[in-house]
A and B are shown apart, each in its own frame.
Chain A
Amino acid sequence: MFKGGWTGKILRVDLTREKHAVQDLDGEVARSFMGGRGLAVKILWDELKPGTDPLSPENKLILATGPLTGFALPSSGKLVVASKSPLTGGYGDGNIGTRASYQMKKAGYDAIVVEGRAKEPVVLVVEDSEIKLEKADDLWGKDTYTVQDELEEKHGKEAGILMVGPGAEKLIRFGVVISEKGRAGGRPGIGTVMASKNLKAVVIKGTKEIPAYNREELRELAAEGYKEIKASANYDFWVRQGTMATIEWSQENSVLPSYNFREGWFERADEISGTTMEKVYKVAQKGCPFCNMQCGNICEIKEGPYKGWRVEIDYENIAMLGSNLGIGSMDWAMTLNLYADLQGIDTITLGSVLAFTAELVEKRMLPEDKLGLKLRWGDGEAMLQLAELIAERKGFGEKLGEGVKALSKALGGEWFAMHIKGLEISAYDCHAAPGMALAFATSPIGAHHKDAWFIAWELKIGRDVISKEKVDRLLEMQRIRGGLFEAAVACRLPWIELGFSLEWYPKYLKAATGLDFTLKELYEMADRIYDLIRCFWAREHGGWSREMDYPPERWFKEPLTRGPLAGSKLSKEAYDKLLSWYYEARGWDSRGLPRKSTLRERGLGYVAEQLEAQGMKLEE
């Protein structure tokens, strides 16, 4: 049935029984959910028993590519990692630019689904149809740079390698999956799920040719696409600074999170900017496979305990581990970034946990003797010490490893606990950005920028505009970023940063798969995926209420005091209006649950029936 694009096979691995099987990918599922996130949520919905403990052997770890993955096309070297999240209790995923993406396709699989728990630490080795579990006692406990080196030495430089770090092994709730020294994905604890299965790493090598419907046309289209990207007016600047240019951007627009999102403007932003990085720290460039606009900034740390180490940095990490902690030192922000990467823990959540703790201390809600150290804003050394306690789950670090939501429930301060649905907010302050706040709050994995980046569009529409048009634009953006790019599994940055036309993607899909997809159909697919993810959350949480789609109280309660927008804060009334319009536009009811008619329209009638069979009442 498949004419190309997909391999048509899913590798299933059961670590408890030490068995594997190859399953056919259902053609209808591929057409309706495509791959990546779409395929992942479909599998989780169909196969996971409601209420499954995310860290139990029954949870499933899904590594999924899409029909464009593995072809030499602009930025198609990514894969999605997904599971039920131990941090949020809902659906969680993330994408990683890694050789494992094309190696999986070359080995003959669209996805690998892992369940069960190995008796002792193992590495799953996939070489075409040969599947092995190798002992990993010698790798367990080792940092992700060392493991990358050792596995590369054993399996070769071209091998696709995904792994967890020691932090995830200790079941910190925000462990990520790491590849190739610092490429991280799966913020909602997908690395923790992998570690809970005693799976230290997955190594993938393939020798097959990925099937393509029209290889010649694909090659020609790709060449044209690459040319268009390279001709972009902003190309050189992008390659020089990548996402780090956003520090200056966010500062100018008062959205640079500072002091636990108390402010959107930081007095020492220049010291952690893309320009400073370029002048002082950048030593090399890195990118994902098949990308001709590589944005990985490899920098060398100049001072501190990790002096001389190299780390790949980007905007989110430096903002969350710099300005959001009051740190105006690139060396310390990079040191914290490196430490998180070595330990395999999420940099954004780490930044939020450290900031929340600093504020608890400042507000005298957490005595320093309980914490075991003196913690002040801007003190990189103390922040690193605390990060070490978290990664090692020592002393008070044990509690911090549960994330901001759990912490605030235990210690108070929920109004300044900067998370939504349990996932800590990425690096955009929203005191003066109601549309961006809505985007974070309705992002399908919790407050992550992948689906939610709306801020530039909001500036274009007008930040204080409260209108249905704004909500419609947000939906459009979610359909593109969270739907098209996450299901086809391609990098969104050529489109956003360099204006690469979306019209390329239906052409690529046609040449790869032989199937005609219009952009409109791709957006319908995106809506189907969003609906199913929302239903998955509702099923796992036993219902829904609109409070789950609210940003933290801080943005409503406490205005900015610094920068050109001092005095700004969100209005609850305006936010509620936007949220209601959002639900309406999605065909969801006033609680935020998809209506039965909406689900039927998207071919998800069975989902409605299953939710109702569990006692959830859905509106027609």
Chain B
Amino acid sequence: MPRLRFIGRLREILGSELELEASSPITLSQILEKLPQEARRLILAEDGRLRVIVLVNEKPAQGLSQVIKPSDVVRFVPIVSGG
């Protein structure tokens, strides 16, 4: 059951943490497909680029095909600057 963590607008849509129903490994892009459209639009640009930083166990994700294990924590971090 990988855990997904969100902040900012994504947290408003999905809550701060989501535990996925996935007992076997799953790719990042399969995870994104399970999210509602509004959240997906914040994460992925139309050209398929990631709009946010995705960290898997605090390490940058290696792309959408990265396999996420049931024990992983995936964080979705928007790119903000604070000023």
Residues of A within 8 A of B (CB): 233-234, 236-237, 243, 245-246, 248-250, 252-253, 314-316, 319, 426-428, 449-450, 453, 456, 459-463, 492-493, 496-497, 499
Task: Note all chain A residues with C-beta closer than 8 A to B12.
Answer: 237
Pair A315/B83 contact, Cβ less than 8 Å: yes
Tell me which of B22-30, B51-59, B64-72 binds A: B51-59
Pair B77/A314 contact, Cβ less than 8 Å: no
Q: How far is the CA of A450 from the CA of B9 in the complex (A)?
A: 24
Task: Note all chain B residues with C-beta closer than 8 A to A456.
Answer: 53, 77, 79-81
Task: Note all chain B residues with C-beta closer than 8 A to A243.
Answer: 80-83
Chain A CB count within 10 A is highest, among B5, B7, B11, B12, for: B7
Q: Distance in Å from the Cβ of B52 to the closest Cβ of chain A?
A: 9
Chain A CB count within 10 A is highest, among B5, B11, B51, B81, for: B81
Q: How far is the CA of A497 from the CA of B51 in the complex (A)?
A: 11
* Main secondary structure on B side of the interface with A: mixed
Q: Is B63 an interface residue (CB 8 A)?
A: no
Contact of B77 among A252, A319, A450 (CB under 8 A): A252
* 25 pairs from A and B in contact (CB 8 Å cutoff): A233-B51, A234-B9, A234-B78, A236-B9, A237-B8, A243-B82, A243-B83, A245-B80, A249-B82, A250-B82, A252-B7, A252-B77, A253-B77, A315-B82, A316-B82, A319-B82, A427-B82, A449-B81, A453-B83, A459-B55, A459-B60, A462-B59, A496-B80, A497-B81, A499-B51
Task: Note all chain B residues with C-beta closer than 8 A to A462.
Answer: 59-60
Q: How many A-B residue pairs have CB under 8 A?
A: 82
Q: Give 6 closest A-B pairs by Cβ, nearest first.
A: A246-B82, A315-B82, A237-B9, A496-B81, A456-B79, A453-B81
Chain A CB count within 10 A is highest, among B8, B51, B58, for: B8
Q: Distance in Å from the Cβ of B19 to the closest Cβ of chain A?
A: 18
Task: Note all chain B residues with C-beta closer than 8 A to A252.
Answer: 5, 7, 75, 77
Nearest to A253 among chain B residues (CB) is B77
Nearest to A496 among chain B residues (CB) is B81
Q: Is B20 an interface residue (CB 8 A)?
A: no
Pair B7/A249 contact, Cβ less than 8 Å: yes
Task: Note all chain B residues with C-beta closer than 8 A to A499.
Answer: 45, 51, 79
Q: Is B35 an interface residue (CB 8 A)?
A: no
Q: How far is the CA of A459 from the CA of B58 in the complex (A)?
A: 9
